[in-house]
Structure formats: C-alpha cells, structure tokens
A and B are shown apart, each in its own frame.
Chain A
C-alpha cells in the first residue's frame, strides 16, 4: 500500500496519522517558548507559526490585529456536500504576559510597566530579555545590607523596580520595547519547565492538529493575539471565521501544592480544595470559568470521548479565570464553545512547569473528539 508522503494543501492522506509528542514536537515547543511575543508584539511567534503551518493549510491570512487565521478544508470526498461539514474553530493564543519599557532614566536604567497579569512578586532579582534583538537586562533591587526589617516585611512596590541593561547598551533600548523573563526552556524528567508555556503549548498543539486534522471537518485554526489583555484577537477572529463551534487550547494553573498552616509549618493533613487543576491529572476540561459557561453538549462530547477511549482527563474547578472562549462564544449569533487546557504550575511567572504526559493526553483527547464530531451534536438544544 502506498502513502502520499507530500500532501498538497487541501488534499488529505487516506489514513490520517495519530497525534504524538515526540522529539519533533518538543523541539517545536522549545523554539516557540524561546520566541518573545508579549501581547501586541507577537511577530516572532507569528513567524514560526506561519512557517510551520504553510504546507498544511488551504488558506492563510494575517488579520488587522495580527491573528493568523488558517483554514484547512476537509476532504470533499469524505462528504459529498459542503454544508454537511462542520466548521470547527480551534484557538490558541500566541501572546504572553510581559513588560513594556516606559521611561528612559539614563545610563541604561529604564522604567517599565507590566502587560497582562504578570505575577509582580516574581519580578525582583530576575534577568530579562529586552526588545527585538533581544538584549539581556536585569531587574535589580537594593542589597539586603541596606534594607531594614520594616522594608522587608512589605512587598517591593512594583513602581520602584527598574530594568538595567548597562550604560553601554542604553542606546539599544527604546521606549515601547517589550521585555520578558530571561528563563530558558528545559526538559526535566517527566516535565518541561519554561517561560510562556501559557500558551505556546496550545500553539504547538494547534500546529500539530493542523497537520493531522480529520478529513470530515473544516478546521479553522486561529493563532490569536492579545489574549492576556482582554481576549481581543479571539473576538475579531471568531467574528471573521464565524464557525459552527469552537475549542480553545490554553494552559491553566495547577495550584496543587501543600497548604501552609498560619504558623508557617508545612502540614499536609488539610485538604487543598482550591487546586483548580492537578499536574498529571490529564487535560483539563472547562465546565465554566469566569468568562464562559462551556456548551454542555461539547462538555458531554469530550468527556464521552475520554471515557470511551480511556484517555485520562480532569474537570477544571469552575468559577475563576478566562480563555479566548470568553470572547468567542459571544460573537455574532453565539458560538458553542469549550476550552481544554494543559495544567501548568506558576503560570504568569518566568518558569512554568507542565507534565509531558498531560500534553500528550490533551492532544489525543482533542484529536479523537474531532474525529468523532458530527453535526448531530447540535440536534439537542443547548
């Protein structure tokens, strides 16, 4: 039996490969995490994505905000009429939280503000990358010898922090340049530790899904911008694509740490009831967060898929947070939507940790859910 090894855009091989997380995928994730793309300035990430998806999309467009909208039409041999093909939007955001330079104080010292929900407690005493080159810098603070006990009881105020690139490099930094934590990508046993796993892991998954999408649906991939500052890219992408349904791939906090009693001792007998998700628990399916109530029909479809095929998954604790689905589901006449995320510890800091197994299972779950999707899913009212 021969296989078509070089699929032309729009033509699908007879036997679709299954999703995998191997060396190639990890290498892709590393290059994505090492690219700097703070909200509003996603160019470096965009370049990587465009290069990777070109062979697998029928149509690619970069819109007014910088979103990449890539369409992979289903195989017309699979279904005789276009109208029976579901148009499925899958979104992952390219942007990360970070910093922006706001004021030049001379001698290579710069004021900055944060873009998106950076955990400000994690800024002091860190290295950063600044600008497009990028060049290295540090966020320094007063040496401990010069602080008082009073000083140390309180958090360092955000607006006392500065980025320092040294006087020699001063000319290379301009007001408006973005900056980000200087952490590198590292594989540690069953985990990956890196910056911007929220949501380069979703981006990597989406690139993979574009490669292996099932033939009976139209896959509308949206690599969105500005999610961290208000879901702005997703809003216009959903408006333009106007899909039948949407699945959002993100990275969500895992707060599954031991509880500290008030006296500071680390006791584990109290149950952690606000973990949101757990590392190793599988992809997290959203029932509801602050911004969206997932369409129950999609929740059923995903959990059913997981149960039938023995793919581990967890239900993300409802109530807080938000994803691109928050903007997507409210567009036009309403779009049935759901989010599926890879759990990560220490999101919005320079060093997020995920389990590779969770990533694998999230790809499997979404892929098989797509394979089993038919328009019948909307025969029941919401």
Chain B
C-alpha cells in the first residue's frame, strides 16, 4: 500500500492517507507515511513519547524564537479483537462507534497476516431477549473471516486490530467519501500548509504535529503541547457537515469554506486574527460557535502547563464516524492556505498585539 511514492496532488494523496491504518494507540503505519511526505518539507522530525510526530520548520527570527504548533490528529477509529469463538471474532471499539452502521461492513483484521473479514449480526433467536427488541450492541456482533477455526487461532489473537475495508469513493472532483476522513482530511490540510510555505521564510518556528490518541484520550495533543511549549497553537479537526441526516442548526455546509471556531476554548484575539486574514485573502469561512468544550485536541492544548493561546479550525464532514464520511477538497485547500499565510505572517511583534479585551 505505502510502497508507492506518496503523491502530493490532493485527491490521490487523500485517498492514500485513508488507505493506511492508524488506530488510536497504534498509529505507526499512517505515521510512517506522513513522515515520508513531511520530511522534504521540514528541517527536523522527532517522535514524542506517546507516538505523535513532531516536524519542525525552523524560523529565521532572533533567538529565543517563538513557536507555533499546528496539530492534526492522525489516529482513526476502529475495532479490536477481544475473543475467539469457533473461528469467529468478538470485538470492542477503539474510539466511538455507532453499532448500527456495522452489520455488513467489510473489515481488515491485522493479525499475523492481513485477513479480510465481514462484521455480522447473528439472527435474533441466537441472541439474548433484548436483542429481539431491536437493541444494537457491539456485544451482538461477530467477525467472520471465512476461515476454519484452527487457521483463525493460528493467525489472530486477542488485542489484534481491525480497520474498515471500505475503499475511498471519489464522488466528483471536489467530493471524496470514505472512512478515516476524520481526521486525515486535516492532516492533508496541514500538508497543504507546509507545501505552501516551501521556499518561504518564517520568523517563527513552525511545528507541524500529527497527534496520537485523540479519539480516545487527547493524550497525543496533551503531551506534545507540554513537551514543545509553543507560544501559540492551532488545532485542526473536522466538524459536523450539513446533510439530510442531521438537523441544519447543528451542522455546517460543505464547500463553503472552513469553520473558524469561537468560544472559551479559543483565544478571541487569535480568532480575530484569523478572521481578518481570511477576509483579506478572500477565503470563505463560517463562524462555528462552541459554548464550552470543542471535543478536539484544542481542549487539551489550551490548558497545557501555564496555558497556551489556542485557535481551532474545522473542516465540515458529513456522516462523521461512519465508513462513508464525506468531505469537500476545496475546504481542505482553503484551510491549508489560511494556515500557511497565518504562519508566514507571524512576526516578532505579534504577541504584543494579541490582546484579551478590546
């Protein structure tokens, strides 16, 4: 899969990103791909103790140089094997999943070999009483690998990971559907940012960080922020895209630009900077009001150590946390460009002008 040269044209690159597994806590396959792509775009790359990827673009300003951390989580949701019964597998979730989308889903079980499987729900007369009332639960799902029990026992053990096998679906030049677009779409946007900074100097140090374990504990963002202690941080994630499934007052349209988040999780001075910048660059955007927790890496980053002024940019994603998430590539490009211009525009005086109240 990752034997090909990673390409940086958006559609094929994004398809590649979502074809490589990287479940929370076990991100190394996708991390290797990201590292390969980011290496020529940055000066130094390190790993954090919890497996996040830290890539540094050194600035040219005088020491001590302020630092900007841009974080996009690279982990995705999936399943993990909890038991083997007669050649079938029982599973638990990694990250949050609605069990109602699972029956009939094709999966890959990462055992001693990569094995193709399908999630199945046994008929009601084989399940406990409350199942016949329509109750869906992971407890009532099994994976069938199409192999004899002895083969399964040789190749799979408790703790092995399971990811979705739904291949990327290009719906048009602009729209892509597939699993793990939460949050590989943001990783792609961050890559766009790094590409647009190529050949340009920045005064500040810029840290591109692909964080681990966001879907489970926000652990990657929390510990990377503590380690890097940036002066400012921007988190990149996805938000609920408008669609026929959800009430429109809780969702945001696809293709109309990224969301600039607003609320206690965001430093208002940073919001204003991004808004003014987007206006100047004529990049369309919307304001996303978030009353308290944003449920993203921004939650952990903002309260690391002595606190870090934080911004959150979100890309609208329809049918989130299903294997057919849908995104507009235009929104990804816009988010990447906005970030690049923000990073390029940071100078030694920025923090002096970052105020709390007007």
A interface list, Cβ under 8 A from B: 39-41, 43, 46-47, 62-67, 100-103, 111, 113-116, 175-176, 225-226, 229-230, 232, 235-236, 239-240
Contact = CB atoms under 8 A, between A and B. Distances in A.
A358 to B, nearest CB: 30
A376 B307 CA distance: 32
B149 interface: no
B51 interface: no
A215 to B, nearest CB: 28
A62 B268 CA distance: 14
Nearest to A111: B249
A175 B287 contact: yes
Nearest to B265: A40
A240 B306 contact: yes
Contacts of B308: 64
A64 B289 CA distance: 20
B303 interface: yes
A40 B289 contact: no
Contacts, number: 71
A65 B357 contact: no
B264 interface: yes
Interface string B230-266: 0000000000000000000100000000000011110
Interface in B303-324: 303, 305-309
B292 interface: yes
A113 B357 CA distance: 23
**Interface-centre pick from B249, B302, B357 (highest chain A CB count, 10 A):** B357
A101 B291 CA distance: 9
B249 A102 contact: yes
Given A101-B289, A102-B249, A175-B289, A43 B306 contact: no
Contacts of A240: 306-307
B350 to A, nearest CB: 14
Contacts of B293: 229-230
Contacts of B306: 63-64, 236, 239-240
A236 B289 contact: no
Nearest to A50: B357
B195 to A, nearest CB: 30
B267 interface: yes
A65 B302 contact: yes
Contact of B289 (A63, A176, A225): A176
Contact of A229 (B249, B292, B357): B292
Contacts of A102: 249, 289, 291
B356 interface: yes
Contacts of A176: 262-263, 287, 289
B357 A39 contact: no
Nearest to B247: A159
A64 B307 contact: yes
Given A41-B264, A236-B305, 12 more contacts: A43-B356, A46-B356, A64-B302, A65-B302, A175-B287, A175-B289, A229-B293, A230-B292, A230-B293, A235-B303, A239-B305, A239-B307
B292 A46 contact: no
A101 B307 CA distance: 26
Nearest to B309: A64
Contacts of A239: 305-307
A176 B262 CA distance: 7
Contacts of B309: 64
6 contacts: A40-B263, A40-B265, A64-B308, A65-B307, A66-B356, A239-B307
By Cβ-Cβ distance, the 10 closest A-B pairs, closest first, are: A40-B264, A236-B307, A64-B307, A229-B292, A43-B357, A176-B262, A240-B306, A100-B291, A115-B291, A176-B289
A337 to B, nearest CB: 17
A49 B304 CA distance: 25
A232 B302 contact: yes
B303 A232 contact: yes
A115 B303 contact: no
B356 A100 contact: no
Contact of B357 (A40, A46, A67, A101): A46
Q: Which of B264, B268, B293, B357 has the largest count of A CB atoms less than 10 A from its CB?
A: B264
Given A64-B306, A64-B308, A65-B302, A226 B356 contact: no
